Amino acid sequence: MAKAKQSRYLMVYIGIFLVFLYSPALLLPIFSFNDSTIVAFPLGGFTLAWFIEVFKTEPLLAAALNSLLVAVITSVFATIFGIFAARASTRYQFTGKRGIMGLIMVPMVLPEIIIGVSLLVVVLQLGFNLSLTTIILGHILLCLPFCTAILSAGFQGLDRSFEEASQDLGRSRLETFWYITLPLVMPAIISSLLISFTISLDEFIIAFFLSGTDATLPVYIWGQLRFPTRIPIILALGTVLLLVSLTLLIIAEYFRRIGARKTGNEIKGGLF
Amino acid sequence: MNFSLIQKIRGQAGLILVSPPFFYALLLLAFPLMGVLALSFWTQDYLELNRGFTLDNYREAWTGAIYQALMLRSLKISILVTLLTVVLAFPVAYFISFHVPPKKKPLWIFLITIPFWTSYLIRIFLWKVILGFNGVINGSLIGIGLIDEPLKFLLFNQGAIVVTLSHAWIPFAILPIYVALEKIDRSLLEASEDLGDGPVRRFIRVTLPLAMPGIIAATLIVFIPTIGDYVTPKLVGGPNGLLIANMIEVQFKKANNAPLGAALALSAMFVVSTMAMVFLWFNRKYLKQGQ
């Protein structure tokens, strides 16, 4: 009796919590189809004009292209570095392992403003110009711990006897890594690529500190938030971005599950 | 080859393998942080850097009235955000771990994370829409006739910052607490019940202490980065809601006083890490006593 009552309270709380959790995300599509420049209730009619405007705004498209470029390069490099770090930490013992892995993982808990500021100081002191390249350098640093964590899980689940069998059958270490290990951890690699792509695409603070004349999408959005008439276009853009992120995320989750099945692990919580 | 030699070669292989990401982090994180440290002891005159050693920046960062006020306000808000986030997150993590059937757990975790793939900036902006003068809350309250005039205290104050930031960080608090709860051996709960504990006593004596590692992780994950948040105070904080991160940005950009900005950034990091350490130390003491 007491238990039923207790769990009823909990259910009510969860209901309220879900409303709190989802309210911004649900308002986003509502206002991006709303036929009014004022972002408030009551709603006007239904319109697709803001979405059409998104695809007609030159600087917005340029920023989107920049973001895409930054995110692709970031995800490739962060994942390659992540493979090195994850392989080393799951397979080998070496001197200073804790310190080295700690340094690699630290951006996960460091406030982004510190990463942004410290890179800004060095770039300016060395006399380089701020550009998309400096943003990419910062984003790789930020994504590296996330990639390393995902890939470590992938390498950890690997059954080592596959690699031993391959070497016993005469393959070199490199060939074994290429033909046996990589395909087995491929799902982890793909989810690492997608997660770092998504993080980079949405990252604002580091990009804000390190951007030169070329803006990424979040930097562009930040500039537009000052102009009330531009808001509905930004919200329509936000809806498009949400759909893109969710699609990528679902693909990432799909590959993670395949990976879990391949290495014979049970599908447990993970990130999702 | 004897065993220790194999170990040695293995060790070399690990070091070689880890060196590309290690050098990357060394070059772009450790080295720049040392640059910031050095900068914080220098002075800047417009664009000219003076490399003479001085503690003036720190003196100003720690004694200047405005910096003190901003630092204290940032700390207060970070603490409030952390408390609110952990308190809101715990029942959710508890619900998923204890009340959701195992097969549906991943789906629920996914459900919790979906809203956070909305663009960060736009999400915070939407809180402005929710809390604003003509916003969703005021609109609905007037709509159901509970109030006649829009409530003005919802937006542009520190409360708005706390709510918005708690919302932003909540999945990062739910996940570690959930993981800790999942690890609890369910037979311990039964044992406590068999020994006569009611649900409340059982929760306080068994569940909560065993969930502590998750709560500690959640606290640190939320508390440390919150101090660096720059966007939320600017969008929903109003005139009295600017935080230390906004001042750091001003010093680096408009005020052209990067050394003071560096001293402020490092001081903020120092204060936050010290508080995190003290928190960890207290917990260890408390947990040891509990045993």
Interface check for A174 against chain B (CB to CB < 8 A): the answer is: no
Radius of gyration of chain A (CA): 23
- Residue A159 in any domain: the answer is yes
Provide the percentage of residues in chain A whose pLDDT is more than 90. 43
User: How far off is chain A from B78, nearest CA to CA, in Å?
Assistant: 12
Which of helix, strand or coil describes residue B260?
Answer: helix
Structure tokens given for B21: 């990401």
Q: Which among A81, A121, A124 has a CA at the least distance from the CA of A103?
A: A81
**Domain coverage including residue A122:** 58-262
Q: pLDDT at position B239, please? A: 78
Gap between the Cα atoms of A49 and A229, Å rounded: 13
The values of phi and psi at residue A34, to 5°, are: -85, 130
**CA angle centred on B175, ends B84 and B105, rounded to 5°:** 120
Chain B residues whose CB is inside 8 A of the A238 CB are: 118-119, 122
Neighbours of A99 (CB within 10 A): 10
- Residue A267 in any domain: the answer is no
Those of residues 44-73 in A touching chain B at CB distance below 8 A are: none
Residue A200 · residue A139 · CB < 8 Å:
yes
- Residue A255 in any domain: the answer is yes
Those of residues 14-33 in A touching chain B at CB distance below 8 A are: 14, 17-18, 20-25, 27-28, 31
Given B30, B122, B249, which is nearest A103 (Cβ)? B30
Neighbours of A58 (CB within 10 A): 7
Interface check for A91 against chain B (CB to CB < 8 A): the answer is: yes
Given A40, A84, A270, which is nearest B135 (Cβ)? A40
Per-residue pLDDT of chain B (291 residues; tens, 9 = 90+): 456 666 666 668 888 999 999 999 999 999 999 999 999 999 887 677 778 888 889 999 999 999 999 999 999 999 999 999 999 999 999 999 999 998 888 889 888 888 888 888 999 999 988 888 777 788 778 877 778 777 777 778 888 999 999 999 999 899 999 999 998 888 888 888 888 888 888 888 888 888 998 999 899 889 988 888 888 998 888 877 889 999 999 998 888 888 999 999 999 999 988 998 888 888 887 766 554
Residue B120 · residue A248 · CB < 8 Å:
no
Structure tokens given for A142: 């930020």
Reported confidence tier of residue A270, pLDDT bands at 50, 70, 90: very low
Give A154-207 pLDDT, tens digit per residue.
888 787 888 888 888 988 888 888 888 888 888 889 889 988 998 999 899 999
Query: Quick check: B121 and A204 CB within 8 A?
Result: yes
Chain A residues whose CB is inside 8 A of the B120 CB are: 202, 204, 218
Q: How many domains are contained in chain A?
A: 1
Highest CATH level, class, for B64-290: mainly alpha
Q: pLDDT at position A267, please? A: 46
The values of phi and psi at residue A213, to 5°, are: -80, -30
Contact residues for A59 (Cβ-Cβ < 8 A; gap 6+): A215, A220
The two most distant CA atoms of chain B are separated, in Å, by: 86
Q: pLDDT at position B288, please? A: 65
What does the domain layout of chain B look like in residue ranges?
64-290
Closest residue, chain A, to B176 (C-alpha): A271
Assign residue A237 the CATH number of its domain: 1.10.3720.10
Model-level pTM greater than 0.90? Answer: no
Structure tokens given for A2: 């007491």
Radius of gyration of chain B (CA): 24
Give A35-49 pLDDT, tens digit per residue.
877 777 777 788 888
Given A84, A103, A221, which is nearest B119 (Cβ)? A221
Average pLDDT estimate for A13-34 = 90
Query: Quick check: A2 and B126 CB within 8 A?
Result: no
> Is A227's pLDDT higher than 90?
no
Given B24, B29, B114, which is nearest A246 (Cβ)? B114
Chain B residues whose CB is inside 8 A of the A119 CB are: 28, 32
- Residue A36 in any domain: the answer is no
Chain A residues whose CB is inside 8 A of the B118 CB are: 24-25, 28, 238, 241-242, 245
Q: pLDDT at position B164, please? A: 93
- Residue A117 in any domain: the answer is yes
Structure tokens given for B274: 């010290």
Gap between the Cα atoms of B266 and B290, Å rounded: 36
Query: Of all helices (H) and strands (E), which one includes residue B48?
Result: strand B48-50
Residue A135 · residue A207 · CB < 8 Å:
yes
DSSP per-residue codes, A165-231: HHHHTT--HHHHIIIIIHHHHHHHHHHHHHHHHHHHHH--HHHHHH--SSPPHHHHHHHHTT-GGGH
Sign of the four-CA dihedral B8, B10, B16, B18? negative
> Is A253's pLDDT higher than 90?
no
- Residue corresponding to tokens 């040392």: B34
